Amino acid sequence: MNVEGQDLNLLRVFHVVYQEGQVTRAAHRLSLSQPALSHQLNRLRQAFGDPLFVRAPRGLAPTPRAHALAPEVSRLMLAIDGFYGGLGAFDLRHIQARLHIHSTDYMEQTLLPRLLPRVRAQAPGVVLITHHTRGALPRAELETGACDLAIAGFYADLAGTLRQQSLWSESFVVLSSRSHPACQHGLTLDAFVASEHVLTTLTGDLDGLIDRALSAQGLKRRVVAGLSSFLAPVSLVRGSDLLLCCLRTVAEEAVSHDAGLVMHPLPLVVPPVQVMQIWHERTEADPLRRWLRQEIRAVADACQAQYSSPPR
């Protein structure tokens, strides 16, 4: 196929329709009416000699030919966006945008109090919207653009189209009430196992890193409650005989506001958590999202400097 006489705007149409998989959403992103988008799709089909997208119960299903074309078209769109993005001055103060971050309540408490003032000062037209990650990597949302950035310490099996950056490494500690009888003379492993525990579970699974480390030693703890929050379990520990294994910054934040709580070293070896920010390669060169990632990294460094023994 000779590039002369070809409408390269059709590649943008292909790219968006492939990402969205639905006419209404694709037309909205392209600022086209649905009839206009249908006309563009017909031109695409004629240009490539293939249906490319066929109707399916949940929208449009790509044909094998469309799947084969998609990676190369994505790379072309990334290069074109980067080219035009670098032509004009990047003025944060005049940008109007909504940026979506998938994370957890722990990340919201740790990062947002410092991040939001920086964003408002530099880019007053940018709105940050956070979504609970629910324990799983929002892969589909990253691919379609519904998620600009995902931040957590439990993501794995990243696809080749995803990029990542380490923000910090953090260890586990144990949080207890100051009056907990097992903690009066230092928390031993035997006392830890004999106590009752609350924990955070985003998926409903009670077999976490702590439990797998105990199982390797032939031990098991008694879990009496699993909550879908990293912060809420702290309120259950206060004034009780319950223990909570949590990240160090969660415990330090809790004891700084409540003299009735105490932080203890975890009496077994568990690897630290690597907190990462994840994004799709199509936003790698985007100046706005690159700026956001840089701000988050700066805020992460500042947050860790707040604590007496930063887990770096």
For residue 207, report the phi and psi dihedrals to the nearest 5 degrees: -105, 85
Domain 172-265, architecture per CATH: 3-Layer(aba) Sandwich (3.40)
Distance between CA 115 and CA 130 in Å, rounded?
12
Task: Report the pLDDT value the prediction gives residue 249, as an integer from 0 to 100.
Answer: 87
Q: Does the pLDDT value for residue 310 go beyond 60?
A: no
- pLDDT tier, 58 (very low <50, low <70, confident <90, very high otherwise): confident
% residues pLDDT > 70 (the chain): 93
As to burial, measured by CB atoms within 10 angstroms (0-12 exposed, 13-18 middle, 19+ buried), residue 231 is middle
Q: Determine the average pLDDT of the residues in 99-118.
A: 92
Distances (CA, A) of 298 to 151, 250, 293: 14, 20, 9
User: What is the per-residue pLDDT across 116-168, written as a single tens digit (0 to 9) for each?
Assistant: 999 999 999 999 999 988 778 888 899 888 999 999 888 877 777 899 999 98
d(CA 127, CA 99): 6
Could you please state the CATH topology (level 3) that the domain comprising 9-85 is classified under.
Arc Repressor Mutant, subunit A (1.10.10)
Kindly report, residue by residue over 174-197, the tens digit of the pLDDT. Answer: 999 998 988 888 899 999 999 999
Rounded-to-integer distance, Cα 291 and Cα 160, Å: 22
Q: Which tokens in the block code for residue 16?
A: 């968006």
Structure tokens given for 295 = 């701000």
Q: In which band, very low, low, confident or very high, does the pLDDT at 215 lie, cut at 50, 70 and 90?
A: very high
Beta strand segments in the chain, E: 53-56, 59-62, 97-103, 126-132, 149-152, 162-170, 172-177, 196-200, 222-227, 242-247, 261-265, 273-280
| DSSP letter, residue 175 | E
Q: Do domains 9-85 and 172-265 have the same CATH topology?
A: no
Contacts with 220 (C-beta within 8 Å, 6 or more apart), sequence order: 193, 211, 214
Measured at the alpha carbon of residue 94, what is the angle toward residues 93 and 99, in degrees to the nearest 5? 85
Query: Partners of 199 in the beta sheet?
Result: 226
Domain 92-160+281-305 has CATH 3.40.190.10: yes
Segments making up each domain of the chain, as ranges:
9-85, 92-160+281-305, 172-265
Give me the residue label for tokens 């500690």.
173
Confidence class for position 8, pLDDT limits 50, 70, 90: confident
Section 6-22 average pLDDT: 87
